Structure 1
Amino acid sequence: MGTHEHPTTTTPDAALRERATAVVDSHADDLVAIYQDLHAHPELGFTEHRTSSFLADELVRLGFDVVRGIGGTGVLARLDNGDGPTVMYRADMDANAVEEANDLPYRSTVRVTREDGTESPVGHMCGHDAHVTWMVGLARTLVETKDAWRGTVLLVGQPAEELIQGAQAMVDDGLHDQPLMQTPDHYVALHTAPVPVGTVACVPGTLMAGTDQIDVLIHGVGGHGSMPHVTKDPVLMAATAVVELQSVVSRRISPQATAVLTVGSIQAGADNNVIPDRALLKVNLRWFDAAVREQLVAGLRAVCDGVARTAGMSEDALPEYTFKGGSTPLVNDDVQTPRLTGVLKEVLGEDKVITQMPPVTGSEDAHLLMGPHADEIAFTYLNVGVADPVLCEQAWARGELVPYGMHSPQYLVHLPAIAVGAKVAVAAVLELLGRP
């Protein structure tokens, strides 16, 4: 009996993915130009006026209905295309207060004056410029393939992710009350990662830690630097507190738990010979368990209040605590996420999709955009590789996991990642939408 060769067949979904990939490729050069422009013009959280205007204008041009200014600079866009699922997709827009060290023709040289009067460099050292560009690539592809999918797409340009405040600000400003908004069935967000271009992490379950951003204002009694004995020195209190805070995790939290307490900034005084009357600590907490969070907060207060009391401050002059922003742990849906894994393997290759990894102590606020409807929405957060594979190989040869870290002055999005990230976004969203 002879053998018969069966012709290979392409499913309609596979054919659509191939078509969508071709659309992204047709826009690749323009998307790179958009990315380079955004990279050269970074904006800090809640000041993303240029970025959000560009994004909103581009989405209007493509035929989306758009609302601007939600939560300050947030953007909501909607594209209806018949009956089908509603899929939401987010891109955060803000940059970091970090001076870029990359030697690029489009490197950032931006400096701004912050609310406290200090001057700061600004750079996209976390890849949010790529996120906005990927959203543009997604939007263009969806418009050019409207005949092949059905449903509603909601695109959210989010401010101030770095501050862990932007998502909640949009919710508090009535995101879910907007006429354009409807509770999505599915929600996807992407983030750059300093791993090789062409790889993506699509991992179900708990992915990232909860976080709190806390300012601690330590009061003192200022005076002349030559007579510290007639002052109550807040600089010394701040320094003592920073050292003592290192014992909170090591001596108050179980070794089996995950907890991080970081002091990211100490601000006090201006002159060599003046003891100021206040000092500011900027503190960051990371946790997975709400009970651990309470232990961290209690430990922070106990240490800082105790230091102030020891220095002789009265009960009405103890430190002030300002909780500026925070987020709960980020958890990927256990059903939707594996569904996307299969699609991404088809697009990128079987060995390019990471499906298992331990939770990291980095944090996000993307999931807070779901607001009161979190229990109704299937959410998946994807990490997309953006590093030059050659640099990754060199880093591994040195015994390093990555060639540069997030928020590093050397953080760099390899330009081929622009098209790849857009293809990941397109593949994920099209998978979740309906078909004619």
Structure 2
Amino acid sequence: MVTARSLPQDLIARVDDIIDADSVRLVDLFKDIHRNPELGFEEIRTARLIEKALQNLGFDVTKGIGKTGIAATFRNGPGPVVMYRADMDANAVREETGLDYASTVTATRDDGTQVPVGHLCGHDAHVTWLIGMANALVSVRDSWSGTVVLIGQPAEELIMGAQAMLDDGLYNFIPTPDVLIGLHTAPGPVGTVINPPGTRMAGTDQVDVHFHGVGGHGSMPSKTKDPVRMAAQATLEFSSLVARTVEPSATAVLSVGSIQAGADNNVIPSEALVKANLRWFEPHVREALLGAIRTVSDSIARAAGVDEDKLPGIVMKGGSPPLVNTPDLAVSMSTSLGEIIGADKVITDMPAVTGSEDAHMLRGPHTDLPFNYLLVGVAAPEVFAEALSRGELVPYYPHNPNYVVDLAAVAFGTKIAAYSVLSLVDGS
């Protein structure tokens, strides 16, 4: 199995000098991506930025995998094949940071709804880190041997992008990797990395529950079978399912992110949609909650007088299993990074979180592929310290309208990406 090696000091110094000299360009690139966010499977502009940058560096680039995904390969002699993934999509959240490069973008979804769009999870940094890291790797290609595969992945927020790339034949375009890694922003202080081994993130499912009713005039609700009421009841019932379905020792989350129904004040619609989200660590917990969602939804519809052939439709959209860092790989990468940035800056003991990811799904058929996923601090240290003084764990969380990647994290994250990949290829 591929594990991380220690990097020589002269190589570290070269990488630092290259990235520091590139930092103005990278910050400008980061601001540009931040200012122009794109939703999942719509990352045309962002993917083009990656495509052009990597082609200019000599990578063999394939575009349009899984609609907007990018796979780029750089062969530099014999050695391990290291696969590195960065996600590209933004959130349907209105940015409130007040930054002079804040997003004001809106987008129209397939269902006709118009939503704000903002990079409030740090994927703009992920893309920037990938491009900056690629430049550093090529610049020091005389110091390493192996093959690097870089993935620009769409639609992580939908938990659909990795699977879409696999379904579109990702492994027809790239060599089989020996190891897969990825980085994500975290609201810890710039200069720190979080990298515990083992289970790190929950599995997740995106579940749509479609209620069917009988519409009518708002003045005559007795003549209708109101799907808005069904959706409201379901939302309330779902909020108690974890407590009533899952044993107390297990961890699970069931939340509703959207209810969509109707258009006018005085018209009871015939349909309503509830968009729910599950987080789980154990498969039996997942199955219990999915069964409970079906039972509750059907019961509410029957109580409203809905015919058996009109019971709610349930659509499973994106989903992924829990994210688990391969222990030996995680430990070796933490050791290697700790030698560079300081062991006290690499956090290796932290509970798993109920956030989710699909980076590990890029393994596809290579289920035993060693995998490691690192979190990189992006909060200004003084902002982080102020949050602690207020009794808060962090100053903001992903998907929050005020999520900020401090500009100092652009170069720092790029260096962590470069150190990580270089530690996994062969030295020369």
Both structures adopt the same fold (TM-score exceeding 0.5):
yes
Residue deviations 1:173-215, cap 9 Å, x none?
A: 000122xx11111111000001100111011100000000011
Larger Rg: 1
**Distance in 2 of aligned mates of 1:77 and 1:136:** 11
SS of 1:421's equivalent in the other structure is helix
Residue from 374, 380, 395 that aligns with 1:382? 374
Query: Residue 241 of structure 1 aligns with which residue?
Result: 234
Residue deviations 1:122-149, cap 9 Å, x none?
A: 0000000000000011100011000000
Query: Residue 172 of structure 2 aligns with which residue?
Result: 177
Q: Offset of 1:12 from its aligned partner?
A: 6.5
Residue from 96, 100, 103 that aligns with 1:101? 96
Query: Residue 426 of structure 1 aligns with which residue?
Result: 418
Residue deviations 1:376-404, cap 9 Å, x none?
A: x2110000000011111111111111111
Query: Residue 68 of structure 1 aligns with which residue?
Result: 63
**Alignment-mate amino acid for residue 48 of structure 2:** S
Query: Residue 7 of structure 1 aligns with which residue?
Result: none
Query: Residue 27 of structure 1 aligns with which residue?
Result: 22
Residue from 216, 228, 233 that aligns with 2:221? 228
Query: Residue 144 of structure 1 aligns with which residue?
Result: 139
Residue from 311, 332, 338 that aligns with 2:331? 338
Unaligned runs of 5+ residues in structure 1 are 1-10
Query: Residue 90 of structure 1 aligns with which residue?
Result: 85
**Distance in 2 of aligned mates of 1:392 and 1:309:** 51
Query: Residue 391 of structure 1 aligns with which residue?
Result: 383
Q: Offset of 1:418 from its aligned partner?
A: 0.3
Query: Residue 325 of structure 1 aligns with which residue?
Result: 318
Instruction: Report the count of equivalent residues.
Output: 423
CA 1:305 to 1:146, structure 2 compared with 1: closer, same or farther past 3 Å? same
Residue deviations 1:399-436, cap 9 Å, x none?
A: 11111111011000000000000010011100000022
Query: Residue 130 of structure 1 aligns with which residue?
Result: 125
**Alignment-mate amino acid for residue 311 of structure 2:** L
Moved more, 365-374 or 13-22: 13-22
CA 1:12 to 1:409, structure 2 compared with 1: closer, same or farther past 3 Å? closer
Residue deviations 1:253-306, cap 9 Å, x none?
A: 100111110011111111111110010000000000001000010010011110
1:59 to 2:54 alignment: yes
1:353 to 2:343 alignment: no
* Contact 2:7 2:336 (C-alpha < 8 Å) held by counterparts: no
Unaligned runs of 5+ residues in structure 2 are 1-5
**Distance in 2 of aligned mates of 1:211 and 1:155:** 25
**Alignment-mate amino acid for residue 427 of structure 1:** Y
**Alignment-mate amino acid for residue 339 of structure 1:** S
**Distance in 1 of aligned mates of 2:396 and 2:200:** 21
Query: Residue 183 of structure 2 aligns with which residue?
Result: 190
**Distance in 2 of aligned mates of 1:209 and 1:141:** 33
**Distance in 2 of aligned mates of 1:196 and 1:340:** 20
**Distance in 2 of aligned mates of 1:15 and 1:188:** 24
**Alignment-mate amino acid for residue 242 of structure 2:** V
**Distance in 2 of aligned mates of 1:13 and 1:329:** 35
Moved more, 241-250 or 294-303: 241-250
Residue deviations 1:8-28, cap 9 Å, x none?
A: xxx872321221121111111
**Alignment-mate amino acid for residue 100 of structure 1:** E
Query: Residue 3 of structure 2 aligns with which residue?
Result: none
**Distance in 1 of aligned mates of 2:108 and 2:82:** 38
**Distance in 2 of aligned mates of 1:68 and 1:13:** 35
* Contact 2:189 2:379 (C-alpha < 8 Å) held by counterparts: yes
**Alignment-mate amino acid for residue 29 of structure 2:** I
**Distance in 2 of aligned mates of 1:380 and 1:17:** 21
**Alignment-mate amino acid for residue 74 of structure 1:** G
**Distance in 2 of aligned mates of 1:244 and 1:433:** 51
SS of 1:150's equivalent in the other structure is strand
TM-score by length of 2: 0.98
- Alpha-carbon RMSD: 0.9
**Distance in 2 of aligned mates of 1:69 and 1:84:** 28
SS of 1:264's equivalent in the other structure is strand
Query: Residue 37 of structure 1 aligns with which residue?
Result: 32
Query: Residue 202 of structure 1 aligns with which residue?
Result: 195
Residue from 399, 402, 410 that aligns with 1:407? 399
1:285 to 2:284 alignment: no
* Contact 2:193 2:347 (C-alpha < 8 Å) held by counterparts: yes
TM-score by length of 1: 0.96
* Contact 2:35 2:104 (C-alpha < 8 Å) held by counterparts: yes
1:78 to 2:80 alignment: no
**Distance in 1 of aligned mates of 2:66 and 2:7:** 40
**Distance in 2 of aligned mates of 1:246 and 1:410:** 26
